[in-house]
Amino acid sequence: MFRSHVLICGGTGCTSSGCDAIISALQQEIDKNDLTREVQVVKTGCFGLCALGPIMIVYPEGSFYSMVKPDDVSEIVSEHLLKGRIVTRLLYDETVTDTGLKSLNETGFYKKQMRIALRNCGVINPECIEEYIGTDGYEALGKVLTEMKPEEVIDIILDSQLRGRGGGGFPTGLKWKLARTIVPDADQKYVCCNADEGDPGAFMDRSILEGDPHVLIEAMAIAGYAVGASEGYVYIRAEYPIAIKRLEVAINQAREFGLLGNNIFDTDFNFDLFIRLGAGAFVCGEETALMTSIEGNRGEPNPRPPFPAEKGLFGKPTVLNNVETYANIPRIILNGADWFKSIGTEKSKGTKVFALGGKINNTGLVEVPMGTTLREVVEEIGGGVPNGKKFKAAQTGGPSGGCIPMEKIDIAIDYDNLLQIGSMMGSGGLIVMDEDNCMVDIAKFFLEFTVEESCGKCVPCRVGTKRLYEILEKITAGTATLKDLEKMEELCHYIKANSLCGLGQTAPNPVLSTLNFFKDEYLAHVNDKTCPSGICKDLLSYEILADKCIGCTLCVKACPAGAISGTVKNPHTIDKAKCVKCDACVQKCKFKAIVRK
Amino acid sequence: MKSLEELKALREKMKSQVEIREDDANALRVVVGMATCGIAAGARPVLTAFSNGVQERGLRGVSVVQTGCIGLCQYEPIVEIHAAGGEKTTYVQVTADMVDEIIAQHIVNGKPVNKYTIEAQRIG
């Protein structure tokens, strides 16, 4: 029994900002103060507020320390843990009020959140199965195996209206039902988990695996029982070493406890789980490519039908869901479909996890009920755009998604609303852009990604995305014509209509949605040969205003290319042939005499 | 683990241990003075006795926390119990032996143990 628990985030974000050094310093100080039997140090998964890492929460007080350094540790131990005096200077400033401390749940970042998939992340030690059990872990599996028929399990999931959280939003219950019924006499079926999270900027699946790996094991076993499968595979990218290690530990513990293996809970249900590592190809997040890769072949998609429910992994009926989808399952079983349906919007039930990134103050992981507006996510939870800049757009759905401009910021986020405005839920990456981002450049960035990640199997995607990228290059270089814009749009529709798999079918989305909402920026590049945000270098030119320049020579010293000349106290000039457009002179000039066009 | 009963037993045992990590604004608070004076007078075993006692009984909505010097150093170890409604009971010169009784009488049954309170010591 411990009187105090010190929770330290051990997610990837806080690990890279040095939480391991803090943990070892903490252990040392605790030993030194003879508190080993009174204070428990728990390395947890992600708390979500990655921007403030390394993060430490001390219970029972619930003190939230942010950006902790190893040097702070001895003060935390001798003051807080020993004498109960909270170290106010290290507290997350949002929790400090004039009248005392505010609960973390009352802060802007957490107040509007609702944690279902992330409920154990940052609360339990992911490498301790007992702690998972202490938060009702494996109770849903026990209930399903001892009290319910497989059909009843499927009915609850169907009734809950849970939809796939990996991007497409297909009803999970229907997927399970098809896998159970479509081939009635199959000798073997499989349950797979897509943990290949490939969208740049999305990291919710990784965080769930790092913070609560047992929830995935429990949910996959439930799925196995529901569809009649005795084997499961988790396909996870090798770039997630912490997640892989914790999942391995969790699988071994579950086997030791008899929660994986034969005759689980003394029933005749057998289920075991295996990990397969992916090499990080974006296309392997596509279900047919993923299963091809598990089979040991080159990760390339196959035409559907047949759908995996009929002919999936090793040619057998297979159910494939993503990590976040699975993380909802045990809660739905325990709390019921009606509870789940009471959260969210008419056609999108429950919550969604978003990874906030880009030009936003609270970079991190948030979980909100479906139907929360983009404004609430960006301004309240995300803390707004830094440096007083103006919000321009948010990008959802990664390379397959689109942009949501300022005029649509009050959109209630759910599957259908996002599709309607040409974006998509995707896996939940949410990248915020401000006035300094050029939308053509953003489209080019995502296209560059898809060109690189196209597997090459079908022509529309392999050649089409490359040609699309070249047109975007022309636009940003200022050599495109209006005819190119027309061609580009036509090519987008052609690629969408003719590509083999989701990668190609959605690759033009970033172009189409920026073209739809920010056509004036495209036109500025094409007609006026300017980049309004000042990003596309080929279109920039720098000039010194002779009437403002006092000849202080600061810019001459700042210029790395030696492009500025002039004598002291006389207006200077820029040699445009030499200028590399680095912006250094503009930042140095105190008289606003240098203009960027 | 072969049965639901085993799972349930483990869950109950672990639950009281992880419950400390809940943020409960309405919790009954047991505040133990842990300044230098308190520690010197023996507050640490009192603190652990309260913390263990609450967890062993699996009491919900009870939070055992520390505080600094209350100002009555000669009466340390001092333990204040703040009920959810705001009433405060102050126990003085508490020893680990008294803790069980205070938990059972006061925290569980809601009747302060008058003989250990500050009023019984005729001060203040």
For residue range B75-92, what is the model confidence (pLDDT) as tens digits? 999 999 998 777 899 999
Residue owning tokens 């967890």? B55
Interface contact flag, B39 A2, Cβ < 8 Å:
no
Residue B23 in this model has a pLDDT that exceeds 70: yes
- CA–CA distance, B95 with B90 (Å, rounded to integer): 14
- CA–CA distance, A136 with B8 (Å, rounded to integer): 9
- CB of A270 within 8 Å of a chain B CB? The answer is no
The pLDDT of residue A583: 87
> Residues of A with CB below 8 A from B47's CB?
3, 38
* CATH 1.20.1440.230 location in chain A: 439-526
The pLDDT of residue B122: 66
User: What is this model's ipTM?
Assistant: 0.85
The CATH number of domain A351-434 is 3.10.20.600: yes
Out of B7, B21, B47, the one facing A7 most closely (by C-beta) is: B21
- Most B CBs within 10 A among A3, A82, A255, hence the mutation to make, goes to A3
Q: How far is B45 from chain A (nearest CA, A)?
A: 10
The pLDDT of residue A35: 92
- Most A CBs within 10 A among B5, B6, B8, B11, hence the mutation to make, goes to B11
Dihedral (C-alpha) B95, B97, B98, B104: value to the nearest 10 degrees? 140
Percentage of residues of chain B with pLDDT beyond 70: 98
- CB of B13 within 8 Å of a chain A CB? The answer is yes
Percentage of residues of chain A with pLDDT beyond 90: 85
Report, as an integer, the average pLDDT of A394-407: 92
A345 token code pair: 């919007």
Q: Order of strands across the sheet with A39-44?
A: A39-44, A4-9, A56-59, A63-65
* CATH 3.30.70.20 location in chain A: 541-596
Give helix A139-147 / helix B4-18 axis angle, nearest 10°. 160
| Phi, psi (deg, nearest 5) at residue A9 | -70, 125
What chain B residue is nearest to A145 in terms of C-alpha separation? B4
A320 contact partners, CB below 8 Å, separation of at least 6: A175, A192, A193, A194, A287, A290, A291, A308, A312
Residue A403 in this model has a pLDDT that exceeds 60: yes
> Residues of A with CB below 8 A from B3's CB?
265-266
Fold of A541-596: Alpha-Beta Plaits (3.30.70)
> Residues of B with CB below 8 A from A57's CB?
21
- CB of B109 within 8 Å of a chain A CB? The answer is no
- CB of A59 within 8 Å of a chain B CB? The answer is yes
Closest CA to A374 of A103, A55, A566, A112: A112
Per-residue confidence band for A271, with pLDDT thresholds at 50, 70 and 90:
very high
Interface contact flag, A257 B67, Cβ < 8 Å:
no
Percentage of residues of chain A with pLDDT beyond 70: 100
Out of A60, A85, A139, the one facing B20 most closely (by C-beta) is: A60
A413 token code pair: 């986020």
| Phi, psi (deg, nearest 5) at residue A193 | -125, 130
- CB of B60 within 8 Å of a chain A CB? The answer is no
* CATH 3.10.20.600 location in chain A: 351-434
Using one digit for the tens of pLDDT, what is the confidence trace for A302-343?
998 999 999 999 999 999 999 999 999 999 999 999 999 999
Q: How far is B115 from chain A (nearest CA, A)?
A: 26
Rounded to the nearest 5 degrees, what angle is found at the Cα of A59, between the Cα atoms of A58 and A60? 145
Per-residue confidence band for A517, with pLDDT thresholds at 50, 70 and 90:
very high
Closest CA to B24 of B69, B70, B59, B66: B59
Q: How far is B57 from chain A (nearest CA, A)?
A: 12
Report, as an integer, the average pLDDT of A288-313: 94
- Residue B98's domain comprises 4-121
DSSP codes joined into one string, B82-114: E-TTS-EEEE-S--HHHHHHHIIIIIIT----G
Say how many residues make up chain A: 597
- CA–CA distance, B113 with A58 (Å, rounded to integer): 30
Sign of CA pseudo-dihedral A93, A94, A97, A103: negative
Per-window interface: A 506-565 vs B, CB < 8 A: none
Q: Helices (H), strands (E): how many in chain B?
A: 4, 4
- CA–CA distance, B118 with B33 (Å, rounded to integer): 14
Per-residue b/e over B77-108, b at no fewer than 16 CB within 10 Å? Answer: bbbbbbeeeeeebbbbbbebebbeebbeebbe
Q: How far is A50 from chain B (nearest CA, A)?
A: 20
Q: Which element (helix H / strand E) includes B35?
A: none
A6 token code pair: 């010190």
Using one digit for the tens of pLDDT, what is the confidence trace for A448-481?
999 999 999 999 999 999 999 999 999 999 999 9
- CA–CA distance, B63 with A154 (Å, rounded to integer): 41
Percentage of residues of chain B with pLDDT beyond 90: 53
Interface contact flag, B65 A84, Cβ < 8 Å:
yes
Asked if A190 and A314 count as a contact pair (C-beta separation under 8 A), the reply is: yes
What chain A residue is nearest to B28 in terms of C-alpha separation? A60
Q: How far is A465 from chain B (nearest CA, A)?
A: 50
Across the strands, what pairs with A39? Answer: A4
Interface contact flag, A133 B11, Cβ < 8 Å:
yes
- CA–CA distance, A149 with B105 (Å, rounded to integer): 47
The pLDDT of residue A101: 78
A283 token code pair: 């296309």
Per-residue confidence band for B123, with pLDDT thresholds at 50, 70 and 90:
low
- CA–CA distance, A239 with A342 (Å, rounded to integer): 37
Sign of CA pseudo-dihedral A150, A154, A160, A165: positive
The pLDDT of residue B72: 87
Residue A183 in this model has a pLDDT that exceeds 80: yes
- Most B CBs within 10 A among A35, A83, A266, hence the mutation to make, goes to A83
The pLDDT of residue B22: 79
Per-residue confidence band for A10, with pLDDT thresholds at 50, 70 and 90:
very high
Across the strands, what pairs with A65? Answer: A56, A91
E strands in A189-279: 190-195, 231-237, 272-278
Give the single-character DSSP code of A569. Answer: T
Q: How far is A353 from chain B (nearest CA, A)?
A: 21
> Residues of B with CB below 8 A from A139's CB?
7, 11
Out of B56, B63, B67, the one facing A1 most closely (by C-beta) is: B56
The pLDDT of residue A24: 95
- Look up residue A282 and give its amino acid: F
Report, as an integer, the average pLDDT of A522-548: 92
Using one digit for the tens of pLDDT, what is the confidence trace for A83-103?
888 899 999 988 888 877 788
Out of A37, A84, A136, the one facing B68 most closely (by C-beta) is: A84
CATH number of the A439-526 domain: 1.20.1440.230
**CATH number reported for the structural domain that contains residue B76 in this entry:** 3.40.30.10
Residue A541 in this model has a pLDDT that exceeds 60: yes
Per-window interface: A 19-38 vs B, CB < 8 A: 37-38
Asked if A465 and A435 count as a contact pair (C-beta separation under 8 A), the reply is: no
A166 token code pair: 């990996």
Q: How far is A499 from chain B (nearest CA, A)?
A: 50
Superfamily of structural domain A129-340: NADH-ubiquinone oxidoreductase 51kDa subunit (3.40.50.11540)
Report, as an integer, the average pLDDT of A427-454: 94
pTM of the model: 0.90
The domain tally of chain B equals: 1
Mean pLDDT of all residues belonging to chain A = 94
Fold of A4-111: Glutaredoxin (3.40.30)
* CATH 3.40.50.11540 location in chain A: 129-340
Interface contact flag, B25 A103, Cβ < 8 Å:
yes
- CA–CA distance, A332 with A534 (Å, rounded to integer): 49
Report, as an integer, the average pLDDT of A134-140: 95
Residue A199 in this model has a pLDDT that exceeds 90: no
Interface contact flag, A135 B32, Cβ < 8 Å:
no
> Residues of A with CB below 8 A from B68's CB?
83-85
What chain B residue is nearest to A58 in terms of C-alpha separation? B21
Closest CA to A579 of A554, A546, A547, A555: A555
Per-residue confidence band for B19, with pLDDT thresholds at 50, 70 and 90:
confident
Residue B1 in this model has a pLDDT that exceeds 80: no
The pLDDT of residue A219: 98
Interface contact flag, B7 A83, Cβ < 8 Å:
no
Instruction: Determine if the peptide bond prior to A532 is cis (ω within 30°).
Output: no
What chain A residue is nearest to B20 in terms of C-alpha separation? A60
- CA–CA distance, A48 with A429 (Å, rounded to integer): 14
> Residues of A with CB below 8 A from B56's CB?
1
Per-residue b/e over A414-426, b at no fewer than 16 CB within 10 Å? Answer: bbebbeebbbbbb
Phi-psi category of residue A501: left, alpha or beta, with phi > 0 → left and psi -120 to 50 → alpha: beta
Interface contact flag, B18 A62, Cβ < 8 Å:
no
Per-residue confidence band for A198, with pLDDT thresholds at 50, 70 and 90:
confident
E strands in B1-124: 28-33, 62-67, 79-82, 88-91
> Residues of B with CB below 8 A from A7's CB?
21
